A and B are shown apart, each in its own frame.
Chain A
Amino acid sequence: MSHTVLNAEAMPYLDVSDPAFSIRSEAVADARDASWCARTPYGLAVLRYDDVQKLLRHPKLRQGSYRWPSHNGVTGLFARWWENMLLSQEGDTHARLRRMANPAFSPKLIGALQPKFTELANMLIDRFADRGECDFIAEFTEPYATGVICDLLGLPFEKWRELADIAADMGLALGVTFKQDLTTIDAATRRIFDYAEELVALRRAEPSDDFIGMLVRANAETDQLSDQELLDMIVLAIFGGIDTTRNQLGLAMATFVEHPDQWALLGEQPELARAAVEEVMRVRPTITWVTREATETFTYNDTEIPQGTTLHLFSQSAGSDPSVFPEPGFDIAAARKPHFGFGGGAHHCLGHFIARGDMTEALKLLSQRLKNPRFNGEVKWLPDSGNTGAITLPIAFDAA
């Protein structure tokens, strides 16, 4: 970014664009000790808990990734969707869309899905339990995360592979090869919109109170959600719900493998599963930073932040900030302050009730059925920054 930040010379520098950069590195911890903020090739990185909390909802900041397609010189189906969907909107349009979407994501509606989460998790564990080993990503987190979306949309589980593949192809848009992969990305976007149109047609013919039914009703009974906005919202629910949950559950298992006493504790006290989700997201969030952009020049902590500056709010380093979490360990029974793994402010993750519900159920059942999980081969990781997680996670365990 070309914006000049005053006092910037005094700030530490973090090269977050280096593929070897780790958001859990000593360099980040040292930078956090030295300053609330670091310089990066993309703008600023905000490192401490209190500042991340304040800036997540700062009135002079907007959500920062809306310009990603234009930064890459990309137009087309994916770019149109990305620039128009809920996350990229601000102000009145954002508030209107969020109000329309909220009923479909309410905690009341999610409660009804709980038995389906249980059934899905057990069915997947049944497939590999006797073998005493699995690739936890390919055989559990990916089909589970996508299966939950199938349940949400009223699709049969058998569709999971197709949906997962579409989401993976669309996900290429978030990587550095966005422009080269555009044909694949837009073909996947076309297919996901075809799905959404089909689902909407079904609910229009046969109204229902499920997730799509609620959105279709908002579209039919108000003038607040256009046909295109309805489809854009459904696509966001599919796209936003698959990779995030897949990665977060993989990070959960990897963390527990490194803390076997905590896994044993969870197995004995399954009522800790909800707290376990929060503790995992504090120490190992898949969303390691949240992006914001300054809508006008403002001063924060005696630093002038020029209009257009990109800020990465490091949820990862906020969650391990020793001034707020003096006990650095991983402890699912400890009382903790809230983490920022779901972002915060106006753009707080819309799907968090679903994510919390399905991950809680998964960890509860996994800890009952897979004892003493351990690494069983090489774990392949995404870069330890941005949206992170395991690509493959071979584990062995003792089936209970």
Chain B
Amino acid sequence: MKITVDMEACLLHGQCVIAAPEIFSFDDDGGLVWVAAPDEGLRDDAEAAADACPEQAIVIA
């Protein structure tokens, strides 16, 4: 599983951090960081994050 985030669309609401904290987090400067190739076992969490994103900026492949 590969995760990309369209940082042009991302407004840093942090809904992905809430939905899938094992994949998405904020760094000390408030920027979004994520695990680019998470374990397949986290697919449900990744999809929950993509669904929850208000800007629909997360793509899972």
Q: Is the CB of A57 within 8 A of B13?
A: yes
Which residues of B lie under 8 Å from residue A106 when comparing CB positions?
Answer: 51-52
Number of interface residues of A (CB under 8 A): 20
Interface SS of A by simple majority: helix
Q: Which of A67-75, A289-297, A340-348, A368-376 is found at the contact surface with chain B?
A: A340-348
Smallest CB gap from B26: residue in A: A59
- The proximity string for B residues 1-36 relative to A, scoring 1 for CB distances below 8 Å and 0 otherwise, is 000000000011111001101000000001000000
State whether the Cβ of A338 lies closer than 8 Å to any Cβ in chain B: yes
State whether the Cβ of A154 lies closer than 8 Å to any Cβ in chain B: no
Number of A-B contacts (CB under 8 A): 45
Which residues of A lie under 8 Å from residue B21 when comparing CB positions?
Answer: 95
User: Which residues of A87-107 are within 8 A (CB) of B?
Assistant: 94-95, 98-99, 102-103, 106-107
Which residues of A lie under 8 Å from residue B14 when comparing CB positions?
Answer: 57, 345-346
Which residues of A lie under 8 Å from residue B18 when comparing CB positions?
Answer: 94-95, 98-99, 346
Q: Is the CB of B52 within 8 A of A59?
A: no
Q: When chains A and B are docked, how far (Å) is the Cα of A352 from the Cα of B54?
A: 8
User: Which of B15, B52, B55 is in CB contact (< 8 Å) with A338?
Assistant: B55
Q: How many Å from the CB of A23 to the closest CB on chain B?
A: 22
Question: In the complex, which of the residues A53, A59, A102, A342 has the most CB atoms of chain B within 10 Å of its own CB atom?
Answer: A102
* 27 A-B pairs whose Cβ atoms sit less than 8 Å apart in the complex: A57-B12, A94-B18, A95-B18, A98-B15, A98-B19, A99-B18, A99-B19, A102-B19, A102-B51, A102-B52, A103-B51, A106-B51, A106-B52, A107-B51, A107-B56, A338-B11, A344-B11, A344-B54, A345-B12, A345-B13, A345-B14, A346-B14, A346-B18, A348-B13, A348-B15, A348-B54, A349-B54
7 tightest Cβ-Cβ pairs between the two chains A and B: A106-B51, A95-B18, A102-B52, A348-B13, A348-B54, A98-B18, A345-B13
Residues of A within 8 A of B (CB): 53, 57, 59, 94-95, 98-99, 102-103, 106-108, 338, 342, 344-346, 348-349, 352
